[in-house]
Each structure stands twice: as structure tokens, then as C-alpha cells.
């Protein structure tokens, strides 16, 4: 059995781990590392679609492997597209971009194994497709000329000419499934978005444990503990463990976020704004509870409403419905900014939004800035970095507050963003924001406890900028992985 790591080494995220055993090859995640990506690209200098796979391989963003990349791109970019499929499956741990972000580049026929929740979130990316490389569940063949409808001449095939589905397979937690010679047991773990999975992979040399990202201080910490128990029983030969917060000694809980936010908002006379990760539905539930216990309603974006709907469609329970009486869906001004205006026909207002965004327009619980501005103390409003200009329309009154419930900036880019956030908050008397956050990642002692309990023969620390901290573990052989270097077990 061989393990080769192509991402997530000495870095947070971008996991791409190749496991080869007895003729079966699988990837554990196929993520994008933000920092590496931002070393070369920005919003204003995005990758070139026409040459992206070649460019990405050259820049070290994608592994230089044959038979794994989508054939439409390979053909167009002069890469060998006739090769047999070299990978039998990809196990996705969860739908954060640093774990799923480069799935877009994979061949359509590679089976992508995910939990139902992960599929729902991947579908959300596919549907919204903001950055252009997010065909995670669907597949739009590119660089093809097709006959025009009129029958004469050719035209460039685009998204309107139909799409195909990717081979996305959903598993049930706790139920084993097979990929070639491998047997896989997917286990639910607690993290900062729904559907996170830890894997136990039974190979010819023994079990391999892959933690994905996880924590032991969330609302469902028991899921992570159950995973640890099952992983220990498998008496693994190898464990790939995340170590995002390996240097931190403790962790704030999700309950802490809820009780602190509830207390903080209590008695405030203005609008309560909350910045939390847009796909973190646990945090959405936390702020929903916070709002309700303060007699307020939670105002979310239509993307969050779509996510709640997709999760419900995939059988996820325990979250409020997007139509819940305590939820409002906010329509921000877009394009011509006609929302709430009566001097334009209704159909013109809709035209400000993309087709999928219009889905919610006719709902009773839709709200605009004017209504929020008029009754500020009735609402807790979701507001992240990209929404800040809505403050202009909402105009928070005195006694309004802003809660920051996201991680602290950990790169220069994020610090610049933070400066911009501070400027907006200062302008509306919301500075300094109140920090109330619980991380999606376990702290050092919890990670050490987990590893000691699971007791693998060999440990690969990944998804961390501090791999050397793992040295403190005694009795476990630690391999500090190198990019693209095969380790034979």
C-alpha cells in the first residue's frame, strides 16, 4: 500500500492524498489551498480557463498525474486525453473548498463519494457557480463546437446547451462500501459545516484513518468521539490527522457562542449584525436560537435559504426551514437595485437577479433593507464581508451591534480585508465588533487524546502549519510528508 500527498503539507487545507493498494487507487479529498492559489491569482487576475490544467500543474497547484483530469480540458490543452481512468474513486471528507475545490478539474467518470449533506453543499456551489470552476456535482462539457439550431454552421457549446451529471455517490454513515479491493467505513464527525466525514479505510496492509477536519467541542461532539472509538477498534497502521489548531490549548464551544451572543444582544436598542461562515448551518442555528430568545427574527441571504432547502431535500433534520416564521430572506440591491421600488414593473425588479435567485422572490418571508431599517430591533441580520455595502441602505441606528463569529485573519490578504471591515464598522458606529467564535477545529490536547486513543502505527500530520508539535507524541512513528513522495506501508 502506498500513500502520496499532493496538498495540505505544512499548510492548512488543499488536501489531495493518493492511496494505492492492490491495483485500487483512490484520492482522499481534492481540495484547493487558498494561500497557494492566491500566490498567483486574485479575483482580478483569475486563472485562464483555456489553459488552466496546464497552468495549475506548472504552478504546483494540481498534481502532475495522467488519467485523472477532465477529458474536454485535456484535449483542448494538448494533454493526453485518451488515457484510461487512473483513479477508482475520491472520498470527500466535507464540502469546504480546501477539501473539494479542485473536483471541477477531475474526469466526469471518477466516482465521487460523499455524505448526503456534502452533496447538498456541492450542489449549492454547482448551482451558484460564482468563481467559474465549481462543477462539483454537474459537468458542462467545454471547448466544443456544435451545430447551430438553424442547421447551418457551428457555434460554441455553452451552459445553455445542456449539462451532464458527475458520478457523485452518496453513502450512509456507519455503512461500509467498497471501492475495488478497498473497504470503506464513513463515520460522521463534528465540524463547522454539515456532513463532515472521517474515514476508516481497510487496505491489504491494515486500516488507514483519515480524520478530515473535526472538533470535539461542537453541538455534536459525540459524533467525533464515536469515530475515534471505531477508528481505535480498527487498530490502524496509518492515520492522517488534521492539526489546524494543534498549538492552541483550549477551544470555545458552540454553546458558548450561543449564550454569549444571546447575552450580548439582550436589551440592545438597534440592529444586531452577525458575521459567520455562510455555509456553517450549525452557526446559523446558533444565531437563529440567539435571535428567537431575544424576540428577534434571523435575516439570512438567499444562498443560505437555498442551502437550508437543499439540506432538507437530502434528508437533513434539526435545522430551521427557510420558510420558518422566525426567518427572513434578505434581498439586497443588485444590478439596477429596484427591489422595494414601486415605480418599476414587477418583472423588471426580478431581472436584477439570477434565475435561481428569483426562486425566493414570491415568498412571504422575503425582506428588503427598508423594512430592516424601519424595525431594527426586531432583527439579527447575517452580514459577512461581501454584504457590508448593504449597511448604506440599512443604516444601523445607535445601539446597533456587530458580532464577529468567524476565525481571526491568518494571512496578509485577510488582514487587508479586516481593515476594510473595520472601516465600514467605524462609519456606522459598530466598531469595535464583538468577537464571539467557536472554531471548527479541535485544539491540541483534543487532537493528542484522539491520536493516543486510536494509537496508529504511523501518523502523517497534515492540514497544519505546525507539524513539529506532533513530536510530543511518544510511541508513534511520525512521517512528515513531502510533496509527491510515495511512502510504502
DSSP 8-state symbol, 154:
E
**β-strand partners of 183:** 178, 202
29 binds Zn ion (CB under 5 A): no
8 A C-beta contact, residue 67 and residue 83: yes
98 binds Zn ion (CB under 5 A): yes
The CA–CA distances, whole Å, from 236 to 198, 205, 452, 456 equal 14, 9, 12, 5
CB of 190 to Zn ion, least distance (A): 11
Distance between CA 437 and CA 251 in Å, rounded? 10
Q: Which is nearer to Zn ion, 13 or 396 (CB)?
A: 13
Segments in 81-220 forming alpha helices (H): 97-100, 116-128
166 binds Zn ion (CB under 5 A): no
CB of 193 to Zn ion, least distance (A): 7
Tell me which H or E stretch contains 26: strand 24-30
280 binds Zn ion (CB under 5 A): no
Which of these ranges, 8-16, 40-48, 265-273, 349-357, lies near Zn ion under the rule CB under 5 A?
8-16
CB of 16 to Zn ion, least distance (A): 12
CB of 111 to Zn ion, least distance (A): 22
CA 388 centroid distance within chain? 21
Q: Which is nearer to Zn ion, 228 or 338 (CB)?
A: 228
Distance between CA 300 and CA 225 in Å, rounded? 32
Q: Which is nearer to Zn ion, 283 or 328 (CB)?
A: 283
96 binds Zn ion (CB under 5 A): yes
Q: What is the DSSP string of 298-340?
A: EEEEHHHHHHHHHHHHTT--SS--TT-TTEEEE----TT--TT
Q: Which is nearer to Zn ion, 322 or 405 (CB)?
A: 405
Which of these ranges, 22-30, 95-103, 219-227, 411-419, lies near Zn ion under the rule CB under 5 A?
95-103
Which of these ranges, 5-13, 22-30, 340-348, 391-399, lies near Zn ion under the rule CB under 5 A?
5-13
20 binds Zn ion (CB under 5 A): no
Distance between CA 181 and CA 373 in Å, rounded? 60
**β-strand partners of 156:** 145
Reading the block at residue 352, the C-alpha cell is: 436584477
282 binds Zn ion (CB under 5 A): no
Q: Which is nearer to Zn ion, 303 or 441 (CB)?
A: 441
Identify the CA nearest to 380 among candidates 283, 266, 318, 288: 288
Q: Which is nearer to Zn ion, 213 or 260 (CB)?
A: 213
At 61, phi and psi to the nearest 5? -85, -35
CB of 240 to Zn ion, least distance (A): 12
Reading the block at residue 434, the C-alpha cell is: 464583538
Which of these ranges, 35-43, 135-143, 209-217, 229-237, lies near Zn ion under the rule CB under 5 A?
209-217
CB of 407 to Zn ion, least distance (A): 11
CB of 414 to Zn ion, least distance (A): 15
Three-state secondary-structure class, residue 388: helix
Taking residues 55 to 94 in sequence order and writing x for each that binds Zn ion by CB under 5 A, - otherwise, the string is ----------------------------------------
- Kindly provide the b/e burial profile for residues 376-407, where b requires at least 16 CB atoms within 10 angstroms of the residue's own CB: bbbbbbbbeeebbebbebbebeeebbbbbbbe
Residue of the chain from 213, 280, 301, 433 that contacts Zn ion (CB under 5 A): 213
CB of 396 to Zn ion, least distance (A): 31
Distance between CA 275 and CA 382 in Å, rounded? 6
Segments in 60-155 forming alpha helices (H): 71-76, 97-100, 116-128
Q: Which is nearer to Zn ion, 121 or 308 (CB)?
A: 121
Q: Which is nearer to Zn ion, 1 or 112 (CB)?
A: 112
Which of these ranges, 210-218, 220-228, 379-387, 451-459, lies near Zn ion under the rule CB under 5 A?
210-218
8 A C-beta contact, residue 224 and residue 189: yes
Distance between CA 359 and CA 150 in Å, rounded? 32
13 binds Zn ion (CB under 5 A): yes
Size of the site for Zn ion (CB under 5 A): 4
Binding residues (CB under 5 A) for Zn ion: these are 13, 96, 98, 213
Amino acid at each position: 500500500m502506498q500513500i502520496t500527498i499532493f496538498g495540505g503539507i505544512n499548510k492548512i487545507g488543499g488536501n489531495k492524498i493518493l492511496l494505492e493498494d492492490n491495483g485500487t487507487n483512490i484520492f482522499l479529498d481534492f481540495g484547493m489551498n487558498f494561500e497557494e492559489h492566491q500566490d498567483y491569482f486574485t479575483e482580478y487576475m483569475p486563472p485562464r480557463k483555456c489553459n488552466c490544467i496546464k497552468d495549475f500543474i506548472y504552478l504546483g497547484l494540481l498534481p502532475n498525474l495522467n488519467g485523472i483530469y477532465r477529458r474536454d480540458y485535456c484535449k483542448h490543452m494538448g494533454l493526453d486525453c485518451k488515457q484510461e481512468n487512473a483513479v477508482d474513486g475520491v472520498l470527500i471528507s466535507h464540502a469546504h473548498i480546501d477539501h473539494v475545490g479542485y473536483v471541477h478539474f477531475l474526469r466526469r467518470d471518477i466516482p465521487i463519494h460523499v455524505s448526503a449533506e456534502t452533496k447538498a453543499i456541492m450542489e449549492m456551489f454547482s448551482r451558484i457557480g460564482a468563481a467559474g470552476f465549481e462543477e462539483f456535482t454537474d459537468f458542462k462539457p467545454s471547448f466544443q463546437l456544435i451545430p447551430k439550431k438553424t442547421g447551418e454552421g457551428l457555434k460554441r457549446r455553452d451552459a445553455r446547451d445542456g449539462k451532464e451529471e458527475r458520478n457523485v455517490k452518496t453513502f450512509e454513515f456507519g455503512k461500509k462500501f467498497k471501492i475495488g479491493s478497498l473497504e470503506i467505513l464513513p463515520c460522521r464527525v463534528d465540524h463547522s459545516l454539515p456532513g463532515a466525514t472521517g474515514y476508516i479505510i481497510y487496505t491489504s496492509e491494515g486500516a488507514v484513518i483519515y480524520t478530515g477536519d473535526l472538533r470535539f467541542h461542537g453541538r455534536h461532539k459525540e459524533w467525533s468521539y464515536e469515530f475515534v472509538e471505531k477508528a481505535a477498534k480498527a487498530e490502524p497502521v496509518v492515520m492522517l490527522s488534521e492539526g489546524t489548531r494543534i498549538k492552541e490549548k483550549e477551544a470555545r464551544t458552540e454553546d458558548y457562542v450561543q449564550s454569549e451572543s444571546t447575552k450580548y444582544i439582550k436589551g440592545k436598542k438597534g440592529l444586531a449584525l452577525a458575521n459567520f461562515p455562510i455555509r456553517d448551518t450549525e452557526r446559523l442555528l446558533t444565531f437563529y436560537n440567539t435571535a428567537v430568545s431575544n424576540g428577534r427574527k434571523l435575516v439570512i441571504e438567499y444562498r443560505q435559504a437555498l442551502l437550508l432547502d437543499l439540506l432538507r431535500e437530502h434528508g437533513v433534520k434539526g435545522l430551521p426551514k427557510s420558510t420558518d416564521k422566525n426567518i427572513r430572506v434578505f434581498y439586497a440591491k443588485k444590478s439596477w437595485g429596484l427591489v422595494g421600488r414601486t415605480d418599476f414593473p414587477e418583472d423588471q425588479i426580478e431581472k436584477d437577479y439570477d434565475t435561481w435567485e428569483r426562486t425566493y422572490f414570491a415568498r412571504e418571508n422575503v425582506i428588503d433593507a427598508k423594512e430592516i431599517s424601519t424595525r431594527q430591533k426586531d432583527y439579527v441580520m447575517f452580514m459577512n464581508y461581501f454584504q457590508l455595502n448593504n449597511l448604506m441602505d440599512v443604516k444601523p441606528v445607535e445601539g446597533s451591534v456587530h458580532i464577529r463569529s468567524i476565525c481571526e485573519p491568518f494571512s496578509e490578504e485577510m488582514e487587508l480585508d479586516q481593515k476594510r471591515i473595520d472601516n465600514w464598522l467605524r462609519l456606522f458606529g459598530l466598531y469595535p465588533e464583538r468577537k464571539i467564535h467557536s472554531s471548527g477545529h479541535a485544539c491540541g490536547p483534543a487532537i493528542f487524546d484522539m491520536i493516543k486513543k486510536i494509537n496508529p502505527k504511523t501518523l502523517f500530520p497534515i492540514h497544519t502549519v505546525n507539524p513539529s508539535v506532533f513530536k510530543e507524541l511518544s510511541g508513534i512513528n511520525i512521517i512528515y510528508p513531502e510533496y509527491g513522495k510515495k511512502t510504502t506501508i
